[in-house]
Structure 1
Amino acid sequence: MSQVAIHPTAVVSPKAHLAPDVKIGPYAVVEGPCELGPGVEVGPHAVIHPYVRLAAGVRVGPHAVLGGLPQDLSFKGQETWLEVGENTVLREGVILHRSTKEEAPTRIGAGCYLMGHVHVGHDAQVGNGVILTQSVALAGHVEIGDYAVVGGLAGIHQFVRVGSRAMVGGLAKVTRDVLPFSLADGSPALHYRLNTVGLRRAGIHGERYRALEQAFRAVREGRPLEGLPDTEEVQMLKAFLAGPSRRRLSGFVRGEPDFEV
């Protein structure tokens, strides 16, 4: 069995629970209590604060800071957590904050890829397979659905929901909810069309794609989704629209964008 590999310049709390094959790089700081699962790698100068759980295979890049106190003036110092799912990659300078709620951690799902200098605020819920590209910023309580992609330098307002397999363009200012399977961009962000490329890559085509086209058109025109094919994707869209929303739904534009999203 592999042994924990801790660089001699790293500082690791005796309260940190490390799986047998964890690797901790030069000048990293691991405070406790925290839990680092099998195969976790912590890069140089990274900081892991107390109350962080990293599942198996998580990779933490240089200068990342995980588990900092929530930037919320109502927070009173209670024990709250940050959890990161299996095989997620957190690149250099990523900042992830603990939640404000004892019963619900800030959570990053499994198989995510958070590129350099991404910030995820307190109480955010990021699904599985999500890609947050360079310098994306998520405010507190944001929800990102499974396999969504958010383009570089985009900012997501607190309490906004971004649905599964949505694509948010780079530099977007997202102040309201974004539908699953859609493409949104702009300042403020608006829905343009379905996320055609993402849907094709996910194997959603044929009748399933045409059903989504009908559903997207109905939502854009303010019509109910009754009478549409009962595909899994249409069910997900209905569930998203029926779910609680603090920010309401982003608007729509007609036609195609005159730039690359």
Structure 2
Amino acid sequence: MISKLSEINKNARLGDNVSVEAFSSIHSDVEIGAGTWIGSNVTIYPGARIGENCRIFPGAVIAAIPQDLKYKGEDSLVEIGNNTTIREFVTINRGTADKKTTKIGNDCLLMAYVHIAHDCLIHDRVIIANSVQVAGHVNIDDWAFVGGSSAIHQFVKIGMHSMISGGSLVRKDVPPFTKAAREPLSYAGVNSLGLRRRGFEGKTISEIQEVYRYLFLNSWNNSKALEEIEINLPATKERDEIVNFIRSSERGVMKGYIQ
């Protein structure tokens, strides 16, 4: 299970049935959960905490120090959940003094050449397609999909069940349940196909669409739209998720529908 041509520090902690292929390097202060497979030419630096049954493909670099000039050598981590796949040449940087940790959730797929910078929080079942570049402090919520070759600005938040078109420049927050496309990035409808695939009922999808009609298809500003939503639309888990996301946005949300 462990190639003789790999280099594993004696202080690294590997669970049962971990496989490490040739020419990979695992440093000290690394933990790898049971059943995880490490392909060839992978480098895992100190501070990596990798869950069970993950697959890490050749060329990936996990827990390198942040590309942040404010980083002063403080101890920090990369935490990766269970059943996550990290494809070829993905790079995931450790946290800084701000959050101490970069986190990747369970059941995620990071395709080839993705970069995840310091202090990011990637939740569960997120798919990030090839060559996406994610700057520091980005938060991507459950079930989000980011199309290939997109670039995500630091401190951006991407809501649950959202879908971002390939090649997008993501400078503003993307609310939950939406599709985002065009340049500048703007609302392109509700991610109804993705929601149906995940078991959302038609009635729930229609309620989500109605919320976004108030937000993006009227001439109101966000404060007025949220006020009208809370007055006129029944409280649901999805409605409140959208309202709370918009209210808590620090960078502001993407634009509404553009013809």
Displacement, 1:20?
2.1
Residue aligned with 1:6, SS: coil
Contact 2:162/2:176 (CA < 8 Å) preserved in 1?
Answer: yes
Q: 2:240 aligns with which of 235, 240, 243?
A: 235
Displacement, 1:60?
0.5
Q: 2:44 aligns with which of 48, 51, 59?
A: 48
Cα distance in 2 between the residues matched to 1:102 and 1:252:
32
Displacement, 1:166?
0.3
Code of the aligned partner of 2:112: G
Code of the aligned partner of 2:236: T
1:212 and 2:216 are equivalent in the alignment: no
Q: Using a 3 Å threshold, how does the CA distance of structure 1 residues 102 and 168 change in structure 2: closer, same or farther?
A: closer
Contact 2:98/2:119 (CA < 8 Å) preserved in 1?
Answer: no
Per the alignment, residue 78 of structure 2 pairs with 82
Displacement, 1:254?
4.0
Give 1 or 2: higher helix fraction: 2
Q: Deviations over 1:148-178 (max 9, x none)?
A: 0000001100001010000000000010000
- Provide structure 1 residue ranges, at least 5 long, that are not aligned to the other structure: 256-261
Per the alignment, residue 246 of structure 1 pairs with 250
Per the alignment, residue 258 of structure 1 pairs with none
Residue aligned with 1:191, SS: strand
Per the alignment, residue 126 of structure 2 pairs with 130
Code of the aligned partner of 2:241: M
1:98 and 2:102 are equivalent in the alignment: no
Cα distance in 2 between the residues matched to 1:251 and 1:142:
19
Q: Deviations over 1:90-114 (max 9, x none)?
A: 0111110001037541000100011
Code of the aligned partner of 1:205: E
Query: Which stretch shifts more, 48-57 or 231-240?
Result: 231-240
Contact 1:81/1:102 (CA < 8 Å) preserved in 2?
Answer: no
Identity of aligned residues (%): 34
Code of the aligned partner of 1:233: E
1:100-115 correspondence to structure 2 within 5 Å: 100-101=96-97, 104-115=100-111
Contact 2:89/2:112 (CA < 8 Å) preserved in 1?
Answer: yes
Contact 2:186/2:258 (CA < 8 Å) preserved in 1?
Answer: no
Code of the aligned partner of 2:244: A
Query: Which stretch shifts more, 213-222 or 78-87?
Result: 213-222
Query: Which stretch shifts more, 164-173 or 215-224?
Result: 215-224
Code of the aligned partner of 2:202: G
Contact 1:110/1:127 (CA < 8 Å) preserved in 2?
Answer: yes
Per the alignment, residue 175 of structure 2 pairs with 179
Q: Using a 3 Å threshold, how does the CA distance of structure 1 residues 235 and 28 change in structure 2: closer, same or farther?
A: same
How many residues are matched?
250
